[in-house]
Structure formats: C-alpha cells, structure tokens
Amino acid sequence: MSGNTFGHVFRVTTFGESHGGGLGVVVDGCPAGHPFPHARIAEQMARRRPGQGKLTSARQEADAVQVYSGLEPETGLTLGTPIMMMVGNSDARSHHYDDLAALYRPSHADYTYDARYGLRAVAGGGRASARETVGRVAAGTLAEDLLAALHGIEIVAWVAAVGDVVLPAVDEATLTRAQVDASAVRCPEGHVAEDMTAVIEAARKQGDTVGGVVRCVVRGVPAGWGAPVFDKLTADLAKAMMSLPASRGFEVGDGFASTRLRGSQHNDPFVKDERGQVRTVTNHSGGIQGGISNGEAIRLAVAFKPVATIFQPQQTVNRAGEAVTFQARGRHDPCVLPRAVPMVEAMAALVLCDHMLRARLATMDGLRR
C-alpha cells in the first residue's frame, strides 16, 4: 500500500506535488444524486490557501477547484462514480529549493523520504508539503456537505492555543465558523486572538516558527456510528488527524487532562431527555464510548509543532554525510495553526462520512430502502 488512500466506503486518494502540475483527489464511494457543493468547497479552499496575510505563507495560489468527473453535466448531481477534483500550481518558485537536493532540512521530511524511496521531489517539499491537503479539503468538504444534508451535522474547528497563549474555553454548543473567522488567527475570542497574533508576529520577525493546538467540535452525530475494535471512531479520527503534516498530538474529549480526574469526576451520567432520547449530562468522553458515537458532540484536539523552516542558520548534513550549515529561503508559514483549521474539519468529515455509510451497511434496517 502506498499510503495515498484513506477511508473504507467513502475513499479518497490524493495526488500531486507542491511544485508539480497540480494537486487533487479522487473520491470513490460518494452516493449518487447529491447536489455537488461547488460554493462550499470554494469557501473551505479559500480558508486553506496560503497568501491569507502576514500570518501565513506569502505564496499566492487561487486554488480554484476543477471537477473532471463524477457529476451529471446538466444537474451537477453526483453520479455515484469516481469524482476527480484538481487545482493547478501557479506560484511555485522552485529555484528557492535548489540547495535542498543535496542536504537535509532539520525536522523536515527530506532525510526520511530519501531513506524510504532513495529519491524525492525536492522543489516545494513534494508531497511532504501541506499543499497535499488541497485534495483532502476538497473531498472533506464534499463529505461535510453529505453529513449536513443527511443528518444536519455541523463541524467547527478553531485555534485554541498558539505557543503559551491558550484560549481557556468557548461555548462549543453554539460556536460558528463566522465567529472563528472574525480574526485572521482563527481564534474566536478577540483579546486572546490578539495575543496569539503577537506571538506569531514575534516569531516571524525572529525568523522562527511557533506551534499550537486546533480544537474541533462535531455537532449532530447520532448514536451508533463507529466500530468496536480496530476501526473505533477514536482510532480513525486519531489516524486522520495524525496524518496531517506537522501534527504531533491528538486528544478526544478531556484527553490527557482526563488522567487528572477520578472516575467519579469523569463519568458522564446518562439521562433521558424530554424527547425520550438517551443523553449524557456531561461530555468528558467527547461523544465516543467503546469506539462508537453516543449522540453527544464529538470533541477533539490536534497539536501542531512549530514547523521546520526557520530563517536562521542551522546545522545539518548533506547526502554525503558531511556537516553543512543550512539557511532557508522562500515563503513559509511562521505558524500553521490558522490554515490547519479547515484541514482538521475536512479530516473529521472524511472519517464521519465513511462511518455514516458504514453504519448503514451494518444493520438490516440500514440496507432496506
């Protein structure tokens, strides 16, 4: 397996390199008859793209998605056949990467790609570049649109920490993308967003980078999605999030903080609500128990590292193993957190859409039309 495909029923294969002809995705397993969400995909692609201001890489890419297959031309409905989406690369400055063929950037993927394949696409970092996520965000937004249409599901991610600046809490029941996008850093609390911006600006001026945490809530997932052993929702979400470039940690519910609680504090008591629905009073579990959704909001967090490309001299070795000093050039993100927000939303949508379709195949009721 090459590791370019994700999902079981709703399957995506991404393709393309950062400085090649373009990048995209083939989606296989999308149900027929769904109105293709062109506008929604364009919106999420705009939130993902570089060139959004001083906090992101200055590379200018329009990232307009072309759809090559899988839609009925007259109606724009999905045909149930593979959907191929692609964006071109127009602002690649490959000469900035000339030195990199012969040396290994510290904490980037040059050495490990060489170790794995014996060669690599040097310019722009090839598939190690976050440009690979173009295909994920396009496919994830289609998945999100299916989840919204069939179950009214809403997915909202936000920047919850940058360096030492931490957003204490938000109202996860009502938070909207508009509130998240009120600041360029994508933190919904104004004064915290300002502090985060200052930290990113300071890092950028020092030629350095800074990491942080994206949190995400998924509202409206019914009880009963997931699988009990290997393909637990927790496990699939962990794999999805940890497949994002620069991700270094993953939590569901209270995550690592749950280790500081007693069972008596962490347990989520069950009650029946006014509609006779089984609910929990609290949601420390993050909406998943035994690998299966319990009908509460799914709450997760992803930690992103301070990315590798800093504009300071660094010690490394070349392909011959000789010690050299490396000085980066080009356009890079001083902090990837604001752009990671739509990527986390997309990966959550891909996992949940796959499990929505799998849940339908799991029972006789789901199979009856």
Annotated binding site: 48, 54, 127-129, 290, 305-309, 331
Within positions 109 to 128, which residues make up the interface with ligand FMN, using CB under 6 A? 109, 128
- Residues 165-204: x where in contact with ligand FMN by CB under 6 A, - otherwise, as a string: ----------------------------------------
- Residue among 61, 254, 333, 354 that touches ligand FMN (CB under 6 A): 333
- Taking the least distance from each CB to ligand FMN, the nearer of 58 and 223 is 58
How far is the C-alpha of 6 from the C-alpha of 1, rounded, in Å?
11
How far is the C-alpha of 30 from the C-alpha of 85, rounded, in Å?
13
With residue 358 as reference, give the H or E element that holds it.
helix 337-362
- Residue among 170, 193, 246, 353 that touches ligand FMN (CB under 6 A): 246
Stretch that binds ligand FMN, among 140-148, 168-176, 267-275, 305-313 (CB under 6 A): 305-313
Read out DSSP for 212-248? EEEEEEEE-PPTT-B-SSTT-HHHHHHHHHHTSTTEE
Minimum CB separation of residue 192 from ligand FMN in Å reads 20
Buried b (16+ CB within 10 A) or exposed e, 76-96: eebbeeebbbbbebeebeeeb
Minimum CB separation of residue 267 from ligand FMN in Å reads 35
**Contact call for residue 44 and ligand FMN (CB under 6 A):** no
Give the helix, strand, coil percentages of the chain, each rounded to 5: 35, 20, 45
Minimum CB separation of residue 137 from ligand FMN in Å reads 10
Minimum CB separation of residue 340 from ligand FMN in Å reads 5
CB 241 within 8 A of CB 247: yes
CB 186 within 8 A of CB 167: no
- Residue among 14, 18, 129, 141 that touches ligand FMN (CB under 6 A): 129
What's 49's DSSP letter? S
Give the binding-site size for ligand FMN (rule: CB under 6 A).
18
Within positions 197 to 236, which residues make up the interface with ligand FMN, using CB under 6 A? none
Stretch that binds ligand FMN, among 22-30, 244-252, 285-293, 358-366 (CB under 6 A): 244-252
Closest residue by Cα to residue 137 from 59, 267, 214, 25: 25
Binding region for ligand FMN (CB under 6 A): 57, 108-109, 128-130, 244-246, 305, 307-309, 332-333, 336, 339-340
